[in-house]
Amino acid sequence: MKIARFSRVGFILAAAGSAVGLGNIWKFPYITGENGGGAFVLVYLVTVLMVGFSIMIAEMLIGYLGRRDGVGSFEAIAPRNKDLWKYAGFMGLAGLFIMVFYSVVIGWIFHYIVVTFTGLPSSVSEAETLFNTMLKEDISTQLFYHTVAFLLITSIVTRGIKGGIERLNLFLMPILFLIVGGMFLYALTLDGFSQAWAFMFEPDWSKLDSDSFVTAVGHAFFTLSLGMGAILTYSASLPKNSDLVKSALIVVALDTGIALVSGLMLFTFLFQYGAEPSAGPGLVFISLPAVFYEMGALGNFFALMFFIALAFAGLTSAVSLVEPMVQYLIDRFNMSRFKASLSMGLFFYLFGIVALLSNTTEFSEALTFGSKNFFDWVDFLTASIMLPLGGLIMAIFVGHVMEKERLESVLRPHFGPFFDLWYFSLRYIAPIALFVVMLNLIGVLEL
């Protein structure tokens, strides 16, 4: 089946929209705070450059050459063992599993947009009570906003590449950049900015351990949308003769820039008003609302803008998480886009209900397995196992299975002399880094 094509700008914004999501504005700041700041940021940046960028090129190349869904693209371009390599295309399932908890978090964000109108909490303790009440007791509120997220995301995906995904990103991404950029410019005027800068860019190696390295690699994949088939599926819709290297550089730069700017902005606000930077997943739902309250009327405006930006980032990423398996159903089973979108939407919606219930007091015990509840297990298994595994498969496939001459014909005109550096990184550095991560995770799971 013929896949609708992105415009060149549409692809970059869609790929950036896939990459720039909750991982940049929600997750990156809090895991940076949990892992000591500067040392973790440095490891993360090296991982993005040496591993993330290398594998992004590989994933784009598979989709660009295959011109089909993930399974079909692997099958089409594998020089041998096509029946085996086609199963690598099922990495798109990772995005669908991420949506199980991602949709729930987007629902929280929708709820907090409403909170900015009804009244921000006046202290961290009040903010903590507000968040924990929603998380652990208020099932109906979570279910309502989770349903809203499901309906929005599914309706966008049903409209397809041009009418839904590209149009969404052409509208939302510029607004997202303006909101985050405007708040960052205000942060520059505050005394807390120097503390935020020192926290993020002056490494304290004593606070870094092997778990931090695993978290950095896993988050690099999560935030760049690698290993889940999203970039692969989008790349299948690229115009012919596209410059994959330039497109990848722009996407990585936008993604990493938003993460760093968001971190600096949020930590500036936290230090300015004496809040704790290592507040964990509740940082933007507990610490920040209280900080925004301290700003007075300006804080209410910033809170609204921040949660709108967060919602935009979540939605642009969410559609990319669903699209790979939707395209697979369309290609393989000749299913209509509406039926395919609804089927995948119902999957993440129904399992998302289980995820949100696992955080509640009433159901947490029944939905906790070992050291984690269902919500946390899905988060851990996708970001720390499925995405690095998907990346490892792509590094092996492009770096060791595909013919080097074919890679050179597409990439060397754009890479120039740096092709060999990229090829070496893809063949050796990225697989070794990902293999070390997988070994470390085996130890974590055994514990």
Instruction: Locate 363 and state its tokens.
Output: 């159901």
Asked if residues 133 and 111 have their Cβ atoms less than 8 Å apart, the reply is no
pLDDT of residue 442: 57
Predicted confidence (pLDDT) at residue 114 exceeds the cutoff of 90: yes
280 — pLDDT class (breaks 50, 70, 90): low
pLDDT of residue 238: 85
**Please, which pLDDT band fits residue 216 given cuts at 50, 70 and 90?**
confident
CA atoms of 355 and 371, how far apart (whole Å): 15
CB contact at 8 A, 290 and 124: yes
**pLDDT at position 263, please?**
87
369: three-class secondary structure by DSSP: strand
Q: Is the pLDDT of residue 168 over 70?
A: yes
For the chain, give the mean pLDDT.
Answer: 87
Give the residue-averaged pLDDT of 195-214. Answer: 82
Question: If pLDDT is split at 50, 70 and 90, which confidence band does 433 have?
Answer: confident
Give yes or no for residue 21 having a pLDDT over 80.
Answer: no
φ, ψ (nearest 5 deg) of residue 25:
-100, -30
Cα–Cα separations (whole angstroms), residue 326 to 77, 158, 181, 241? 21, 9, 33, 26
C-alpha–C-alpha distance, residues 294 and 273, integer Å: 7
pLDDT of residue 6: 59
Token duo for residue 96: 């669908």
Mean pLDDT of the region 37-54: 88
Distances (CA, A) of 102 to 60, 94, 109, 229: 24, 12, 11, 17
**DSSP single-letter state for residue 4:** P
Beta partners for residue 373, in sequence order? 368
pLDDT at 31: 82
The residues pairing with 62 across neighbouring beta strands, listed in sequence order, are none
DSSP annotation of 229 reads S
Higher pLDDT, 282 or 60: 60
Q: Tell me how far apart the 2 most distant CA atoms of the chain are, in Å.
A: 64
C-alpha to C-alpha distance for 19 and 32, rounded to whole angstroms: 18
Q: Please state, in angstroms and rounded to a whole number, the distance separating the CA atoms of residues 66 and 244.
A: 14
% of the chain beyond a pLDDT of 90: 45
Confidence of residue 2 (pLDDT cuts 50, 70, 90): very low
Q: Which listed CATH number (2.120.10, 1.10.3470, 3.30.1390, 1.10.4160) goes with 8-446? A: 1.10.4160
Contacts of 319 (CB under 8 A, 6+ apart): 17, 153, 156, 157, 164, 165, 168
Q: For 368, which DSSP code?
A: E
* Tens digits of residue pLDDT in 304-328: 998 998 898 889 889 889 999 999 9
The answer to which of 14-28, 158-172, 407-421 has the lowest mean pLDDT is 14-28
Tens of pLDDT, residues 395-430: 999 999 999 999 999 999 999 889 999 999 999 998
